[in-house]
Amino acid sequence: MSDLQAMKTELTKMVKALSYEKKEVTLASGLKSDFYIDMRVTLLHPRGVRLASRLMAENLKPLDGTLAGVGGMTMGADPIVTGVSLTTEFLEWKRPLLGLYIRKEPKGHGMGQWCEGVKNFKKGDRIFILEDTVTTGGSSLKAVDKAREAGLDVQGVFTCVDREEGAREKIEAAGLEFRTLITKSDILRL
């Protein structure tokens, strides 16, 4: 087993132990579900964010030099956006990735911004949107829209966990690349 495969297995076990719960919930999409994955728990654990950030950075490594950054909807994506950005610096990428936080609503004072960190980018810079968990892809596509309005060229969406409930299809239908570290099926196989 490779080091990266061992890291993915360890992360999947952490997600199942810390973030997965079998219970009735209403998701952000408004859909009802009989399970919940609260990735914030895993991504706010130092080992969890380290594993997820390293795996995402390694996956994005072929884009080193062409990808300017990563962004995501605050609050769920904040740890992974920061983690991936820092990891690319530690791994000494030719062009470490910048981070971008996208608000759910514009800031109510000051500049009224939707995106934080956008001044570090140039118009047309290529980015990936990162997610903690996706279900239908609606929040991901909102983040894509806000990043594009800020002048960035969104290449795709990369999530820690895909609940396998239509996000991939919706995101790919929008002409974006879709990547995931772990699926619901991976978690349930443990």
Question: Which CATH fold topology does 3-189 show?
Answer: Rossmann fold (3.40.50)
**Residue 110 pLDDT more than 70?**
no
Whole-prediction pTM: 0.95
Q: Where are the domains of the chain?
A: 3-189
Residue 32 has pLDDT above 70, yes or no: yes
Q: Region 83-95: what's the mean pLDDT?
A: 96
Res 65: pLDDT: 95
pLDDT value at residue 113:
85
Predicted confidence (pLDDT) per residue in 124-175, tens digit: 999 999 999 999 999 999 999 999 999 999 999 999 999 999 999 999 999 9
pLDDT at 106: 79
Report pLDDT for 89: 97
d(CA 190, CA 188): 5
Secondary structure of 134-183 in HEC code, one letter for each residue: ECCCHHHHHHHHHHHHCCCEEEEEEEEEECCCCHHHHHHHCCCEEEEEEE
